[in-house]
Structure 1
Amino acid sequence: MDTKPLILLAAGGTGGHLFPAEALGVELIRRGYRVRLATDARALRYSGLFTREMIDVVPSETVRSRNPLSLARTMLMLGYGTAVAFSLIRRLKPAALVGFGGYPTLPPLLAAKLCGVPSVIHEANAVLGRANRLLARYASAIATSLPGVLDRDPALSAKTTTVGTPMRPAILAAAAVSYVPPQTSEPFRLLVVGGSQGARVMSDVVPGAIERLEPSLWQRLVLTQQVREEDMARVRGIYDRLKIRCELAPFFTDLPARLASNHLVVSRSGAGTVAELAAIGRPSILVPLPGSIDQDQFANAGVLAAAGGALRIAQAEFTPDRLASEISALAGEPARLATMAASARGAGRLDAAERLADLVAKVAGI
């Protein structure tokens, strides 16, 4: 029987939660610990560190509506998930549990509290998410990616440590690629990504912005854009008419390398995206997803904008004219691009996995 300490990681089944969990898992294994992942069924689709044998699926549910019946159903599912997690923790006897946000972390973290197992929650956004807000009082320690997240709450700030966002190996490799700004006679490489929720607005706005650029910039432009299948024909039609060199796809499996190889990135501002832009050090135009309760993407983009590494444009102001103006200005100012890249890089933390592993070991007493 393996007697090395076990650290149980809990994360929602999306990349924004799973990637930092994977990065921490890599570091913990390097230090000689065992790791397992408690998550929802979505995580079974992801490849990487966590093989099927390392994953424990815990039932969960997200609050989707204020409807009393929907809320009751959610509470019942979370209660059932907590019972499953309680049994799991009693069987595995982990030295500590680390949660990475999302409602699927609620049952494992609550069960850890009931079992007397120390826990750490990690918040990747510039504001505390709803699940982490519920768990914060029960956690032994809180780790944040960005400074100042809990400065207004003395009770919680006392047990908070800023560690950054743990980065998977592909991001660390991309971070080693130096940024070389394009001179005004050289190709200008533009990457446009938006994630599953953001790709539609990029398809609606970016082609019109490219159309408004000066023809001399069309000749320099090398465009890579994430485009949903249903938008592909109309977006490609515009770029073909303008004779733009472009690569369009619904999803890029090698996104870290693409971030490193481009001169400017236009994107949403999810926590993972902002952390990766900072770690790699690339200039960006960030368009926060509107309408979220916590306005987390607006706050995330604000951190990078305040550091000088990004331009933040609210979606209501994200028009073809505005975007064309910003792209034209940046393409003509290589020194400004270089400064933005350095500023973004200065806001990044490449040692976040090590910092978080140190905190976990301290909390676990191992």
Structure 2
Amino acid sequence: MKILFTCGGTAGHVNPAVALAQMFQTRNPGCEVLFVGADRGMETKLVPKEGYPIETVTITSFRRSLTPAAVGHNIKTLLNMNKSRRQADAILDRFRPDLVVGTGGYASYPVVHAAAARGIPTAVHESNAVPGLTTKTLSKVVDVVMVGFEESRNHYDDPSKVVVTGTPVREDFFRYTRKEARAKLGLTDDKPLVVSVWGSLGASVMNQQITRCITLECGEGNPFRHIHGAGRNYREVLDILEKVGVDLKAHPQVDVRQYIYDMPLVMAAADLVLCRAGASTIAEVTAIARPAVLVPSPNVVADHQTKNASVLANAGGAVLLPESQSSGETLYALVKELLADPARRENMSRALRQMGSPDAAERIYQTLVALLEKKQK
């Protein structure tokens, strides 16, 4: 069996594909896997670290603007599409896959489209609540469309093609109970734990707000524990706290890190999570049913994060706080309000459990196996 996964752009597109590749190889000895991504995409670094080969196509995005720079960029993208089509055909000729699966990113388009035209079994998985341009276009030609939420089904022209599978998250997220995670982190008291993170690249605006939130916490005697991952703004956060007179050594309840490398453990111990609303983050929060305050990034294509956050907020599992309405004071007040209301947080967790798909990887695997068996008949 040969399976080709094509993905890129973000870790949220790559990680589900890697999880599926591992599952296929574990259950089907001798299964060969190839990844295809975009030239210079972050997938060219992420995939080899997982031990998989990757080839690339030359593909770029479309910009929704009529500025001279955007028009020039889009002309280049059109030219690249012809090139990427030839590259995709060459890759398919060499590898001869039995199945092609796209998990998001512009690189998926030429490869999945070329495979569908050849009659090779094809599928796409969309982690976001509302499909992007690539998935929306490919949904017309693939055999199966897999989505994270039931609410996503109506965004496709042919709902009969759509299977609600959820989005896979790492198995580490299910390793610890809250009690076990707190013990492993050395949290011996009963103070609730708040975890905040705005992505590995950080977010200057939100990190500045968090420094104000931390300042207020420390000024009121640290009513809760707080672990914050600052990303590339780490030094900036420490400098701001120093300037306003907050000595973190005097406040051991506050743990400011550059990166939260043990995220599954930390989130398992959390009582409340403050975060963006990217597809992989939403999947993690939902899978382990942690109440969250979601502050969507306003700088993503088609406002995907707001749409993702809305699904959870409408179900009662999270609070959606637009960045334009957020501040250090607002975050601090909201955190105190939620921590003071265990019943509300339990209701939020219950709503998330009803939405969650902890067995998402298994559902996707079974969907793809069924597709292969159907095509082989």
TM, length-normalised to structure 2: 0.85
Distance 1:195-1:220 versus aligned 2 partners, 3 A rule: closer
Q: Deviations over 1:250-273 (max 9, x none)?
A: 323322222112221100001110
When structure 1 is superposed on structure 2, of 318-327 and 226-235 the one drifting more is: 226-235
Asked if 1:37 is matched to 2:32, the reply is no
Q: Deviations over 1:118-166 (max 9, x none)?
A: 210111111011111121111111110111213154x321211100002
The equivalent position to 2:204 in structure 1, one of 196, 200, 207, is 200
Look up the SS of the partner of 1:223 in the other structure.
strand
Query: How far, CA to CA, are the matches of 1:180 and 1:215 in structure 2?
Result: 28
Look up the SS of the partner of 1:281 in the other structure.
coil
Query: How far, CA to CA, are the matches of 2:264 and 2:21 in structure 1?
Result: 19
Q: CA deviation at 1:17?
A: 0.4
Aligned to 2:333: 325
Aligned to 1:289: 297
Asked if 1:363 is matched to 2:371, the reply is yes
Query: How far, CA to CA, are the matches of 2:55 and 2:251 in structure 1?
Result: 47
Query: How far, CA to CA, are the matches of 1:127 and 1:178 in structure 2?
Result: 35
The equivalent position to 2:239 in structure 1, one of 225, 234, 239, is 234
Query: How far, CA to CA, are the matches of 2:349 and 2:179 in structure 1?
Result: 10
Look up the SS of the partner of 2:194 in the other structure.
strand
Asked if 1:96 is matched to 2:103, the reply is no
| One-letter code aligned to 1:69 | G
* RMSD across aligned positions (CA): 2.6
Residues 218 and 251 in structure 2, CA contact (< 8 A), matched pair in contact too: no
Distance 1:233-1:222 versus aligned 2 partners, 3 A rule: closer
Residues 11 and 104 in structure 1, CA contact (< 8 A), matched pair in contact too: yes
Query: How far, CA to CA, are the matches of 1:137 and 1:180 in structure 2?
Result: 44
Aligned to 1:86: 89
Residues 222 and 251 in structure 2, CA contact (< 8 A), matched pair in contact too: yes
Query: How far, CA to CA, are the matches of 1:320 and 1:13 in structure 2?
Result: 31
Residues 309 and 342 in structure 1, CA contact (< 8 A), matched pair in contact too: yes
Asked if 1:186 is matched to 2:190, the reply is yes
Aligned to 1:115: 118
Distance 1:36-1:50 versus aligned 2 partners, 3 A rule: farther
Q: How many residues align?
A: 356
Q: CA deviation at 1:220?
A: 3.8
Q: Deviations over 1:30-64 (max 9, x none)?
A: 22043221113422322677425x22223221224
Distance 1:148-1:300 versus aligned 2 partners, 3 A rule: same
Aligned to 1:244: 251
Look up the SS of the partner of 2:8 in the other structure.
coil
Aligned to 2:173: 171
Q: CA deviation at 1:217?
A: 4.9
Query: How far, CA to CA, are the matches of 2:333 and 2:86 in structure 1?
Result: 55
Asked if 1:156 is matched to 2:155, the reply is no
Query: How far, CA to CA, are the matches of 2:178 and 2:192 in structure 1?
Result: 17
Query: How far, CA to CA, are the matches of 1:220 and 1:77 in structure 2?
Result: 52
Q: CA deviation at 1:331?
A: 2.4
Look up the SS of the partner of 1:358 in the other structure.
helix
Q: CA deviation at 1:178?
A: 6.2
Distance 1:192-1:12 versus aligned 2 partners, 3 A rule: same
Unaligned runs of 5+ in 1: none
The equivalent position to 1:106 in structure 2, one of 106, 109, 112, is 109
Q: CA deviation at 1:230?
A: 5.1
Aligned to 1:274: 282
Distance 1:119-1:45 versus aligned 2 partners, 3 A rule: same
Query: How far, CA to CA, are the matches of 2:211 and 2:153 in structure 1?
Result: 40
Asked if 1:336 is matched to 2:344, the reply is yes
Distance 1:152-1:264 versus aligned 2 partners, 3 A rule: closer
Unaligned runs of 5+ in 2: 183-188
What percentage of residue pairs aligned between the two structures are identical?
26
Q: CA deviation at 1:340?
A: 2.5
Look up the SS of the partner of 2:369 in the other structure.
helix
Q: CA deviation at 1:277?
A: 0.6
Query: How far, CA to CA, are the matches of 1:106 and 1:178 in structure 2?
Result: 44
Distance 1:263-1:343 versus aligned 2 partners, 3 A rule: same
Aligned to 2:128: 125
